[in-house]
Structure 1
Amino acid sequence: MASAKKQDTVAAARRAKLEEARRRERARERRVRLVTIAASVAVIGALVAGAGYLMSAADDKEKAQAEVEAAPVQGERTWDRLSQDHVGTKVSYPMNPPVGGDHNPVWMNCDADVYTEPIPKENAVHSLEHGAVWVTYTKKADPDDVKKLGERVEATPYSLMSPVEDQAAPLVLSAWGKQVTVKSATDARVEQFFTKYVQGPQTPEPGAACTGGVAR
């Protein structure tokens, strides 16, 4: 009889020990779940906050872009209703450098191309029709300005640069129907002109190629 009671006592102790172990395991699992839930909430909160920041930053960038595009470029000249006819002859343009009008059927390569020799104006005008900005300069331009503007062009698809010795000012920026004389490479209007007119709203043929044309 004593032996049976002892066995019952031992069994009861084992069950109690097992139940305690199970209780502790359940408590541990609850803690793990709570930690996991808390971490998930924190991650989701961070993602939501991050997404909100990115959306806000994107909205701010779009708003700034829209403001730049809407603002006039100080000192800019504009020509409207320019011909887009293709011709195989030299053209006498009313402005220099030309910003539009009759032009050669083949465009000048304008995929961030810097030319150190004069280029045919008729081909360059076709590049403007495709949405390029054309930077031109004379020997009177400061070499540092020419270098910096060249670097700007080399970093910008749909732009090109070349000397035009018979233009009136040392540094000129042109787009289709648009032109401005700038004082230096650091003139704020340089960035504004590029931002506004590289593939800008003035472009008669947006998205047309700037490669596969004349290159020299």
Structure 2
Amino acid sequence: MDAAPRTGTEQHKARMEEMRRAQRVRERRNRWLAMAAGTVVVAALVTGGVVLLNSGSSDAAPAAASDGKGGEKGGGEGRFVTRADGVRTWKGTLDRNHTTAPVTYPMEPPVGGDHNPVWQNCNGHVYSEPVKNEAAVHALEHGAVWVTYNSKASKADVAALAAKVRKTPYTLMSPVEDQKDPLMLSAWAHQRSVTGANDPHVDKFLSEFVQGPQTPEPGATCTGGLDR
């Protein structure tokens, strides 16, 4: 007898479980790569120290170090175009440079642009305090969906969305007081507002954009970054 076809809910659960398995494999691989890279870095530092000792003086002026102060325009130029389903898609350039300086984004919450070298942990992480935009944007680059809310959102909706995020790999949640709507969902180059935790567009957005085709770095880890 043929097996009954899977329902949409069963397919979603299967996809989430597969993503969790893939995440565990990536974490083991990344730990091994980190140890190997550490060995190479130590060897390079030792070699570099010997070269510097033997190189003598140089006429070249040293490069100026950034003090991390001030802001950089790293969001790129463009505008949102709203799809028929209400998802706003950024049409234009979204830069992807790493910077430790604050970045001025053309939208809030940002959906891409220059960002911190270290990502915000996004493996179902829920933050009760605001996170740095620059770190959250790096998480979006890894294929995460960022759920945000402000003080106008109901406590019930915030709690329900937090429970959903905790069960969904490649998601994170945090407050963003300056956003225009109480509840918003963001992915790289995409964003939408929702009316509440039970809004059907929540699951549709997660299904489309968690590790979706918009992801600049698919498969990149969502752990091992910033946790607050």
Q: Does 1:143 align with 2:155?
A: yes
Q: Map 1:147-162 to 2 at 5 A.
A: 147-162=159-174
- Deviations 1:51-89 (CA, angstroms, capped at 9, x unpaired): x225xx15x75xx98xxxxxx672111114311111110
**Any gaps of 5 or more consecutive residues in structure 2?**
13-82
Contact 1:73 1:192 in 2 (8 A): no
Aligned residue for 1:183?
A: 195
1:112 maps to what in 2? 124
Give matches, 1:62-141, under 5 Å: 74-80=85-91, 81-141=93-153
| 1:31-57 Cα shifts (integer Å, max 9, x gaps) | xxxxxxxxxxxxxxxxxx1xx225xx1
Comparing both chains, which one has the higher relative contact order based on Cα–Cα distances under 8 Å and sequence gaps of 6 or more?
1
C-alpha distance in 1, partners of 2:203/2:84? 10
> Percent of counterpart pairs with the same letter?
55
Unaligned runs of 5+ in 1: 1-48, 66-71
Structure 2 CA distance for partners of 1:73 and 1:185, relative to 1, 3 Å = farther
Quick one: which amino acid aligns to residue 215 of structure 1? D
Q: What SS does structure 2 have at the residue aligned with 1:87?
A: coil
Pairs aligned (count) = 156
Paired residue secondary structure (2:103): coil
Change (3 A) 1:186 1:73: farther
For residues 192 and 73 of structure 1, the distance between their equivalents in structure 2, rounded to whole angstroms, comes to 14
- Aligned to 2:191, the other structure's residue is in SS state strand
Q: Which has the higher strand share?
A: 2
Aligned residue in 2 for 1:168? 180
Superposition TM-score, scaled by structure 1 size: 0.69
**In structure 2, what residue type is equivalent to 1:53?**
A
Q: 1:202 aligned to 2:214?
A: yes
In the alignment, residue 100 of structure 1 is paired with which amino acid? G
Scaled by the length of structure 2, the TM-score of the pair is: 0.65
1:53 matched to 2:12: no
Structure of higher CA gyration radius:
1
What one-letter code is carried by the residue in structure 2 that aligns with 1:174?
Answer: S
DSSP 3-state at the match of 1:79: strand
